[in-house]
Amino acid sequence: MRNVDLPLVLFLVAAFVSFLFSVYLWFFQDREYALFVGLWVPSILSLGAMMRRG
């Protein structure tokens, strides 16, 4: 089995799920909530980058 960086994968999955949830909110619910949730994506990715650097 390949050597997989599990924390990196978890952060990427969390950011992608947040993006999908934001798109869902944009088209089917409230656009203001979608913008709020959409801001989570760069925040999650930034947190992941900071934690990887130590």
Interacting residues of 8 by C-beta distance below 8 A, sequence separation 6+: 48, 52
pTM summary value:
0.84
Burial class (CB in 10 A: 0-12, 13-18, 19+), 44: buried
Residue 1 pLDDT > 60:
no
- Check residue 4 and give its pLDDT: 77
Q: What pLDDT digit, counting tens, does each position of 4-53 carry?
A: 788 889 999 999 999 999 999 999 999 999 999 999 999 999 999 999 88
Query: Which three-class secondary structure string do you get for 1-54?
Result: CCCCCHHHHHHHHHHHHHHHHHHHHHHHCCHHHHHHHHCHHHHHHHHHHHHHHC
The pair of structure tokens assigned to 32 is: 């203001």
